[in-house]
């Protein structure tokens, strides 16, 4: 068993090793241009890092051992105890799901075998998108298309810099583009107060426009903008100080754009019925496509959320919140929300996967818990079983799906620690059932 879950010691690795074209698993945009050095003191981000990537790659791992009821045990014993708990459970919940493609595949296989529920911890934000995609559809761009073609970018009610520190550097104002036809200057529009404008700089940035409203009013601004683009007459309106004249001026910018993109991040839209705002953003892109080229671009999706939803869709046909209790995938975005189930006392075991960030702690619950987590994971109390696992792209190789859902990117093994991938541990638990 130990050979199937514990990674073999790397023989012959140099005391100092330089890795180029490293993919960053700590940011859902998966920037793949980092240069990271492995030294005797640990990993060091040498080039193209952000505060988030530096914190992730350079974090010093505390000593960690498999545990049962807070006591150190062998990996074999922890796996056996986890299998015992899962085998007894009538409705196990597989949550967190902060892992890579292989880890998510293994989680789904175990859920199907044991009649469990699968749901990512960040799915509430994702469903602000899913509800719109399922009901009205949308036209979306990619990071590459936006970087190379957009001459108008609208940031709608979302603090993109907070979620993706290098988005403006790599996408909005990169030093070059793939196509000579790309406009040398692009207009950047912020809809919402408090959005970081200080990063809106560089040779590619032309006009910078701000429509200062509350973030929850960005959808309302988009709705009025759509109405004016369609030629509807409206009484003079003010949305938190934004005048109709300002919206009309933006409408003209949109009509003149050769390739416009409206950008939003569901985690930033944390207010009731936020899916209605997403519907307006997506509708704006569809409306403008009748006369020019316009698209949406959704961001967010950290901690492997995009990967979890994509893999779940490939395998089950549904985007998370899937139950295998009947032996077949059953999709219900309300009933199988693990967050709701925990609050209402449903389910009888929580299996939490958190292999990326130490802050991805499991929610408060009275259920017995099994945690597959990165060493140093913040836990309020010891779970019934804790098994330390490696971080994809740092401790082992893997793959993750980029935030725009169009490509999977390879993750390198940088040799930080000898920790088993979550996929291996989950497979070992399934084998022990």
What's the CATH code of the domain at 146? 3.40.228.10
**Average pLDDT estimate for 185-195:** 90
Q: Is the pLDDT of residue 259 over 90?
A: yes
**Which among 298, 327, 343 is the end of a domain?**
298
CA torsion sign, 302 to 108 to 353 to 341?
positive
Residue 184: its pLDDT value, please? 66
Average per-residue pLDDT for the chain: 92
**Which among 276, 298, 320 is the end of a domain?**
298
Residue 147 in any domain: the answer is yes
**Average pLDDT estimate for 301-316:** 96
Residue 39 in any domain: the answer is no
Residue 201 in any domain: the answer is yes
Q: Is the pLDDT of residue 9 over 80?
A: no
Co-location of 113 and 173 in the same domain: no
Which residues contact residue 371 at a Cβ distance below 8 angstroms, ignoring those fewer than 6 apart? Answer: 352, 354, 362, 377, 379, 383, 385, 386, 387
203-207, 249-253, 302-306, 422-426: which range is least confident on average?
Answer: 203-207
**Average pLDDT estimate for 212-232:** 93
Can you tell me the distance from the alpha carbon of 110 to that of 97, in angstroms, rounded to the nearest whole number? 13
Q: What is the pTM of this model?
A: 0.92
Enclosing domain of residue 427:
64-122+303-432
Residue 239: its pLDDT value, please? 84
Co-location of 213 and 110 in the same domain: no
Co-location of 226 and 154 in the same domain: yes
26-40, 228-242, 376-390, 402-416: which range is least confident on average?
Answer: 228-242
Q: Are 211 and 223 in contact (CB under 8 A)?
A: no
DSSP state of 350: E
Interval 347-364: pLDDT, tens: 999 999 999 999 998 899
Q: Is the pLDDT of residue 1 over 50?
A: no
Residue 282 in any domain: the answer is yes
Q: What is the number of structural domains in the chain? A: 2
Q: Are 64 and 417 in contact (CB under 8 A)?
A: no
Residue 3: its pLDDT value, please? 30
């Amino acid at each position: 068993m130990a050979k199937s879950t514990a990674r073999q010691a790397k023989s012959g690795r140099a005391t100092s090793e330089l890795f180029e074209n490293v993919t960053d698993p700590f940011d859902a945009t998966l920037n793949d241009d980092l240069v990271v050095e492995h030294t005797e003191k640990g990993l060091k981000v040498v080039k193209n890092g952000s505060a988030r990537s530096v914190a992730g790659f350079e974090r010093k791992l505390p000593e960690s051992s498999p545990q049962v009821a807070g006591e150190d045990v062998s990996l074999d014993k922890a796996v056996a105890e986890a299998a015992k708990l899962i085998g007894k459970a009538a409705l196990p919940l597989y949550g967190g799901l902060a892992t890579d493609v292989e880890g998510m595949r293994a989680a789904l296989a175990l859920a199907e075998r044991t009649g469990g529920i699968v749901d990512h911890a960040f799915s509430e934000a994702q469903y602000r998108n899913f509800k719109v995609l399922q009901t009205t559809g949308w036209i979306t761009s990619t990071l590459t298309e936006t970087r190379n073609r957009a001459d108008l970018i609208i940031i709608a009610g979302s603090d993109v810099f907070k979620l993706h520190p290098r988005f403006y550097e790599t996408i909005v104002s990169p030093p070059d583009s793939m196509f000579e036809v790309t406009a040398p200057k692009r207009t950047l529009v912020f809809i919402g107060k408090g959005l970081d404008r200080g990063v809106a700089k560089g040779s590619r940035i032309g006009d910078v426009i701000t429509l200062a409203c509350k973030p929850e009013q960005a959808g309302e601004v988009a709705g009025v903008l759509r109405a004016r683009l369609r030629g509807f007459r409206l009484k003079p309106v003010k949305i938190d100080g934004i005048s109709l004249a300002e919206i009309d001026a933006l409408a003209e910018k949109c009509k003149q754009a050769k390739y416009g993109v409206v950008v939003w991040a569901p985690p930033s839209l944390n207010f009731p019925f936020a899916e209605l705002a997403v519907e307006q953003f997506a509708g704006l892109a569809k409306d403008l496509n009748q006369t020019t080229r316009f698209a949406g671009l959704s961001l967010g999706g950290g901690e492997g959320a995009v990967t979890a939803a994509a893999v779940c869709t490939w395998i089950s046909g549904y985007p998370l919140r899937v139950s295998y209790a009947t032996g077949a995938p059953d999709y219900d975005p309300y009933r199988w929300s693990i967050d709701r189930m925990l609050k209402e006392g449903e389910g009888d075991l929580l299996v939490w996967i958190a292999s990326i960030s130490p802050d991805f702690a499991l929610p408060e619950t009275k259920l017995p818990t099994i945690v597959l987590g990165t060493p140093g994971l913040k836990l309020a109390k010891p779970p019934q079983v804790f098994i330390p696992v490696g971080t994809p792209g740092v401790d082992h190789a893997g793959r993750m799906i980029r935030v725009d859902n169009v490509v999977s990117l390879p993750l390198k093994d940088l040799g930080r620690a000898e920790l088993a991938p979550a996929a291996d541990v989950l497979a070992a638990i399934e084998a022990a059932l």
